[in-house]
Amino acid sequence: MRIIHVSDTHGENEAMMRVDNLAMYRADCSVVAVTGDVITGAKETLTAKWNRWPQAHRFLVRGNHDRPASVFGDLRGWTTDAPKVDLVEDLAFVNLPWGVKASDLVGLSVAGATAVVIMVHFIQQLMDALTWEKVAELVGERPLLVLHGHDHKDAPKWEANGEAGGKSFYRSHICSCGHKTHKLRGTSHIIDWGDGKPSCTFVQGNEGIVPGFITLLHY
Ligand SMILES: [Zn+2]
Ligand SMILES: [Zn+2]
């Protein structure tokens, strides 16, 4: 299974264009996950282009800048509810809300999944001791991948050996806008999940109207 991870486009025209070129080109990816801060206060609507993206499963979680919630009103065929679990093949995709707390995880189930992918805007909110305890309880012995954005200075980052409270995890951190991110707008991670674990490629969507992407780095 292949996943495109996009985050923090912040409504920038160039970033939006480049991630659109990437998503339209990568029809071989069955999942696209957007981890928040899609817009900013100045831009209150999302491009309808995102409804044409060819990925069968499209997940989006809200960031602190995604206000009001109606900015996602034009999206069709996207999962924007949180907290929510969706099973895609044998991976459980977990949408978590901005300001996630331990009680948001109560009642969620990843039964039937061999691995778990958590989508959250700000990973620190997950790292609160009580909340992380619930995450570890939910995930159990399964491999865990956390997709997030928010901290522009620290992105991009792929971590294969994260650890907290005795639970190890993979971590994909991306910011697709040009703010404090080496001015590389439209960057994303393509995550390949094979042989029971994920691997990651750092890419940038093409500019202009040319569908495609540039491979920047294999982690
Ligand atoms: Zn942001
Ligand atoms: Zn943010």
pLDDT in tens, 124-162: 999 999 999 999 999 999 999 999 999 999 999 999 999
The rounded Å distance from CA 116 to ligand 2 centre is 23
Q: How confident is the model at residue 44 (pLDDT cuts 50, 70, 90)?
A: low
The rounded Å distance from CA 214 to ligand 2 centre is 25
80 vs 101: CA distance, rounded Å = 18
120 vs 172: CA distance, rounded Å = 11
pTM above 0.75, yes or no: yes
**Ramachandran angles phi, psi of 142, nearest 5°:** -65, 150
Nearest ligand by distance to the CA of 177: 1
- Domains of the chain and CATH, by start: 2-80+146-218 (3.60.21)
pLDDT score of 179: 84
**Is pLDDT of 1 > 80?**
yes
As a whole number, the mean pLDDT across the chain is 94
The rounded Å distance from CA 151 to ligand 1 centre is 7
pLDDT score of 40: 77
The rounded Å distance from CA 70 to ligand 1 centre is 18
Q: How confident is the model at residue 104 (pLDDT cuts 50, 70, 90)?
A: very high
**Ramachandran angles phi, psi of 66, nearest 5°:** -85, 70
Q: How confident is the model at residue 30 (pLDDT cuts 50, 70, 90)?
A: very high
pLDDT score of 71: 77
The rounded Å distance from CA 47 to ligand 1 centre is 18
Q: How confident is the model at residue 45 (pLDDT cuts 50, 70, 90)?
A: low
Q: How confident is the model at residue 41 (pLDDT cuts 50, 70, 90)?
A: low
Summarize pLDDT for 63-100 with one digit per residue, the tens: 999 887 777 888 899 999 999 999 999 999 999 999 99
Taking a 5 Å cut-off on Cβ, the residues next to ion ligand 1 are 8, 37
